[in-house]
Amino acid sequence: MPFIFKTSFPVILLALSTSLRADTPELDAICWWKMIGQTAAQDSAQDMGMSATLKLDCPADKNASGKVEVYYRIRPWERVDNVLKYGPPKVFRKFLETNENPSILDFYSGQYENIEVWAKAKINGKTYFSGTVFNNYARGEKDNPHSKSSKTSKVSEAVSSMPQWPILGISRYPNFYYVQTGQSITLESSGFSPETVRVYQDKKSVAVIHNQEGQFQYTPPHDAELSKLKFSDYKDLVFIADLPSNAGQVSFYLPLHRSYRGQTDLKGGLMVLAGSILLALGWVVLKNRSFRWRT
Amino acid sequence: MAYMIERIERLRAFAQHISFVILMYGGRFGINLGPAVPCFACPFVTGCGGYCYLMGLQGFIGFGMSAAAAGSLWLFTALGWMVVFIVLVALLGKIWCGWLCPFGLVQDWLSALRRKLGVRERKISLQTAQYLGYVKYFFLGYLIIIPPLVTAEILPPDFYLPFCSICPGKSLLPLFVGETRYLALDYTNNITFALSLTLLIFTGITLVGMFFKERFFCIFCPLLALIHLLKPLSGLRLVKNISACTGCGNCRRICPMDIEAVYLEQKKADVQTAECLNCFQCAETCPSDAALGIDFYRFRLFSSSRSHTINTIAWLGKQK
């Protein structure tokens, strides 16, 4: 047994390392946003806020110098007639340096906000468009600064609208809060028309989805590992499409959460309930000397 | 006996039904009594008018222990709601249990159905009742101890609302707004499966128990235990005048919780036990003048009397 272990262990390690690396080269070769943290943040002045940190992974961020143009749109949720609705969006632009490591953006929200972030990077003659969308949940009622400082770039400037870049985005999703396993995501491309979109889940290639009348549909399967984590924990879900003429790639990132109640079985539950009722009823009837009142 | 208690029962039933509508459907009309309601106003009911404090307490103990909560306004808000809960308990005591709890009303409905069907109530022996009485303290301890362990990441996150996960109120009360999803088995992971299975087994046992035994769930209710622990703050008391008691035993027979202490007590004036729901049926049916009374601090709200009992019977006679 020790011999088998000794001889097989390096082989297993090698196999593991190659299998882990096997799917990553494409992600290493493009630009994509990655959420590296989203946490409830204490703010004694404004109640509980939420802070999200995004990192832009680019292939040449250490070696080549260049600018990454970043736009982000923040839509606060406003309570109108006791119903939460999106308020007027605010759009901002800022620049990140590709040679800075890491290229990080911090978003702090003191109220409920939906945040879309888009970046355009030109590296080694190719153009990379990267997008993501997420929600920041917070308890504060008052308006808050749109974002906290970014460590890597100048202060952002307000602009009137988002640029008309080729992008991938969500067109339909049943859940308003989190992107969850087991729920179908429908993506739409805008500004370009790819034939296929490649899907990476937790850095592993999991699917290639085809264009169906301008839409791409993907249902992330339930993940046993993710199911054991908190609802707020997530794994990376990245969609990648090629630009025409090998001009570059478009990526779209979503933090994928565990299913909230997607792995439930009502029929099984009702059977358990009926069984326990029958058992309890049987016990009561057997223990009772006389079931009914004497009349 | 049933006639004698008819009048107070109607008043209580009226209060229970009003409370049921407000706490179960109030949110649909813009009513929100907040997360400190001292009865089973279940937050899992969509559009409810308030939240049972047990949920707030679990969240407060769990998240309140985290570093993120330290010194935050959230912590002060949570402490504020705790104060609101204490004030509500101080004002109304176990009136919340006997007169206002929606889950209590559901239990009373099942008991009424049992009576209509002519099925007799199953009595629990004194000794068994004594042992079962400790279960609510076990549940109270369970819901207080587990959340900090989740915050400290000693236990997995699925235990974050440990009592709600197994509370029959969570599975039964949402049925009144057409929600069946809490009757499902949850296969997300082993813990959610175990908790949902436990919930369904508890629900089955509770349903049968509630049918055969009046206020069956109240025997185990940790909220009742919590309210009882705050008894020194509450001004509401059930008081016995031992010298006036004739020992007729009405109080023992009428009690939905089968409390013997009111009948047996020979020393203390305060006869409100941990199980008492403040339904006041004992005081209402007591035929001895001033033998049982309901006090709110120094004020006497109600005093048992022979004339009251006779008037009740006479009034009921006219109603017939």
Residue A19, pLDDT score: 44
Which of A 222-241 lie inside 8 A of B, CB atoms? Answer: 222, 224, 227-231
CB B26 within 8 A of CB B48: yes
- Could you tell me the residue range of the domain that residue B245 belongs to? 235-319
Question: What total number of domains does chain A contain?
Answer: 1
Does residue A21 surpass a pLDDT of 50?
no
Mean pLDDT across A29-33: 85
Residue A65, pLDDT score: 60
Nearest-CB residue to A277 (from B68, B73, B204):
B204
Please count the other Cβ atoms lying within 10 Å of the Cβ belonging to residue A162. Answer: 15
B47 and B179: one domain? yes
Would B1 be classed as within a structural domain?
Answer: no
B150 and B299: one domain? no
Looking at chain B, list the stretches that DSSP marks H as alpha helix, in order from N- to C-terminal side.
6-25, 53-64, 73-92, 95, 102-116, 126-133, 135-151, 168-172, 190-212, 222-229, 250-254, 261-264, 281-285, 306-319
Taking the CA of residue B292 and the nearest CA in chain A, the distance in Å comes to: 30
CA dist A258 and A221 (Å) reads 10
- Could you tell me the residue range of the domain that residue A183 belongs to? 22-257
B194 and B311: one domain? no
Mean pLDDT across A96-121: 79
Helix (H, G, I), strand (E, B) or coil at A72: strand
Q: What is the DSSP letter of B270?
A: B
Q: What is the DSSP letter of B294?
A: E
CA dist B44 and B51 (Å) reads 9
Q: What is the DSSP letter of B37?
A: B
Would A15 be classed as within a structural domain?
Answer: no
Taking the CA of residue A37 and the nearest CA in chain B, the distance in Å comes to: 15
Chain A residue nearest residue B117, CA to CA: A292
- The reply to whether B79 touches chain A by the CB within 8 Å rule is no
Would A277 be classed as within a structural domain?
Answer: no
- Contact at CB, A272 and B204, closer than 8 angstroms: yes
Would B181 be classed as within a structural domain?
Answer: yes
**Among the ranges given (A107-116, A195-204, A273-282), the one the predictor scored with the smallest mean pLDDT:** A107-116
Would A71 be classed as within a structural domain?
Answer: yes
Taking the CA of residue A233 and the nearest CA in chain B, the distance in Å comes to: 11
B177 and B63: one domain? yes
- Contact at CB, A269 and B183, closer than 8 angstroms: yes
Residue B201, pLDDT score: 97
B72 and B168: one domain? yes
Would A140 be classed as within a structural domain?
Answer: yes
Which of B 98-157 lie inside 8 A of A, CB atoms? Answer: 118-120, 122, 156-157
Nearest-CB residue to A47 (from B73, B185, B200):
B73
Please count the other Cβ atoms lying within 10 Å of the Cβ belonging to residue B138. Answer: 12
Taking the CA of residue A284 and the nearest CA in chain B, the distance in Å comes to: 8
| φ, ψ at A224 (rounded to 5°) | -60, -35
- The reply to whether A82 touches chain B by the CB within 8 Å rule is yes
Widest distance between CA atoms in chain A: 96
Taking the CA of residue B171 and the nearest CA in chain A, the distance in Å comes to: 10
Residue B46, pLDDT score: 92
Q: CA separation (Å) from B4 to A294, B263, B282, B314?
A: 22, 18, 11, 10
CA dist A159 and A176 (Å) reads 27
- Contact at CB, B188 and A227, closer than 8 angstroms: yes
Which of A 22-41 lie inside 8 A of B, CB atoms? Answer: 39-41
Four-CA torsion B152, B158, B159, B161, nearest 10 degrees: 110
Residue B96, pLDDT score: 94
User: Which residues, 6+ apart, have CB-to-CB distance to B167 below 8 Å?
Assistant: B42, B54, B199, B202
- Contact at CB, A229 and B157, closer than 8 angstroms: yes
Residues of chain A contacting B181 with CB distance shorter than 8 Å: 261, 264, 266
CA dist A119 and A252 (Å) reads 10
Residues of chain B contacting A262 with CB distance shorter than 8 Å: 188
- Contact at CB, A277 and B207, closer than 8 angstroms: yes
Residue B186, pLDDT score: 93
CA dist A167 and A252 (Å) reads 8
User: Which residues, 6+ apart, have CB-to-CB distance to B77 below 8 Å?
Assistant: A47
B29 and B127: one domain? yes
Last residue of a domain, one of B202, B227, B252: B227
B203 and B240: one domain? no
Residue A174, pLDDT score: 67
Mean pLDDT across A180-208: 90
B25 and B165: one domain? yes
- The reply to whether B11 touches chain A by the CB within 8 Å rule is no
pLDDT band at A151; cut points 50, 70, 90? very low
DSSP string, B228-250: HHTGGG--EEEEE-TTT-----H
Q: How many residues does chain B have?
A: 320
- The reply to whether A16 touches chain B by the CB within 8 Å rule is no
CA dist A223 and A263 (Å) reads 11
- Contact at CB, A292 and B118, closer than 8 angstroms: yes
Last residue of a domain, one of B227, B250, B283: B227
B206 and B269: one domain? no
- Contact at CB, B68 and A41, closer than 8 angstroms: yes
- The reply to whether B1 touches chain A by the CB within 8 Å rule is no
CA dist A232 and B162 (Å) reads 18
Taking the CA of residue B245 and the nearest CA in chain A, the distance in Å comes to: 30
Q: CA separation (Å) from A237 to A14, A240, A257?
A: 26, 10, 10
B117 and B185: one domain? yes
Question: What total number of domains does chain B contain?
Answer: 2
Would A112 be classed as within a structural domain?
Answer: yes
B76 and B151: one domain? yes
Taking the CA of residue B200 and the nearest CA in chain A, the distance in Å comes to: 5
Chain B residue nearest residue A44, CA to CA: B72
Would B14 be classed as within a structural domain?
Answer: yes
Residue A238, pLDDT score: 94
The string of pLDDT tens digits covering residues A217-238 is 999 999 989 998 888 889 999 9
Residue B317, pLDDT score: 57
Mean pLDDT across A135-154: 53
**ipTM of this complex prediction, to 2 decimal places:** 0.88
Residue A113, pLDDT score: 86
**For chain B (length 320 residues), average pLDDT per consecutive 10?**
58 93 93 92 92 92 76 80 94 92 95 91 84 93 93 89 94 95 93 96 96 93 94 88 88 87 85 89 87 87 81 59
Residue B38, pLDDT score: 94
B218 and B263: one domain? no
Q: Give the pair of three-digit tokens for residue B157.
A: 């996150």
Does residue A164 surpass a pLDDT of 80?
yes
**Among the ranges given (A6-10, A188-192, B101-105, B290-294), the one the predictor scored with the smallest mean pLDDT:** A6-10
